[in-house]
Amino acid sequence: MKILSFVVRLVLLQAVFLPAFADSLEAVEAERQQLQFEGSRIESACYDRFAVNACLSKWSAERRARAAALRKRELALRDSERTERTREQLERLEDKKTEQTKRLEEMAKEPVAERVPKTAPVPQPLDRPEVNDSPAAISPEQAQANRAAFEAKLEEAARRKAEVEKRIQDKPDRAEPLPISQ
């Protein structure tokens, strides 16, 4: 009896408050939660009866039907939201297009001299001295000294490489084996 009065109160509350926000996803979600709550109440009432399976299958069929109706409403609401967003986006694009055409018409009315974009002046190339005239140019004597230093470094590297190779050759290939205890 308590369950019946609860369900009646719930239906009355839905009748009073549901039209205010009937077409929203929040309303669908609230109804879905209410359906789950009502389902747990009805299932517990079914377990109090003698014919549990019949009661549960009856509730299961009703629950599936109501859930399908909720899903259908949810899909319709999402579709309407999607079409509304699309319409708004198309309006924004149309506004942008009209604004751009107005700007182009205004530019067409202006004289060409006024339409030249205002940019920074192009920098003039700097007067650079010739490479050979610069004080940083290397004299032939300096080039010869640099060459001799480079060759000395090459000889030192070759000598160091030969020392390393000799050390590797003189090293025994492997360590002596460990003694075997018997």
Query: In this predicted model, what pLDDT tens digit does every residue of 59-81 receive, in sequence order?
Result: 899 999 999 999 999 999 999 99
The answer to whether residue 4 scores a pLDDT higher than 60 is: no
Percentage of the chain modeled with pLDDT above 70: 75
**Residue 133: per-residue pLDDT:** 54
pTM for this one?
0.43
Classify residue 41: in a domain, yes or no. Answer: yes
pLDDT at residue 71, as a whole number: 93
pLDDT tens profile 113-166: 665 566 666 677 776 655 555 556 889 999 999 999 999 999 999 999 999 999
Paired tokens of 154? 């090459």
| pLDDT given at position 12 | 53
Q: Are residues 102 and 144 part of one domain? A: no
Spatial neighbors of 7 by CB under 8 A, at least 6 apart, are 38
pLDDT category, 7, cuts 50, 70, 90?
low
Residue 118's φ and ψ, nearest 5 degrees, are: -90, 105
Instruction: Work out the angle between the directed axes of helices 52-109 and 25-48 (0-180°, nearest 10).
Output: 180
| In a shared domain, residues 57 and 102 | yes
Total domains in the chain come to 2
108 in the same domain as 64: yes
Tell me, yes or no, whether 134 lies in a domain.
Answer: no
Contacts of 138 (CB under 8 A, 6+ apart): 146
47-58 burial, b at 16+ Cβ within 10 Å, e below that, comes to eeeeeeeebeee
Per-residue CA distances from 82 to 76, 78, 87 (Å): 10, 6, 9
Residue 92: the pLDDT is 95
Domain shared by 102 and 146, yes or no: no
Q: Are 38 and 7 in contact (CB under 8 A)?
A: yes
The terminus-to-terminus CA distance of the chain in angstroms comes to 93
In a domain, 15, yes or no: yes
Phi (first) and psi of residue 179, to 5 degrees: -70, 145
157 and 71 housed in the same domain: no
Token couple for 153: 């470094």
**pLDDT at position 177:** 76
Structure tokens at 21: 């926000």
What pLDDT does residue 20 have?
47
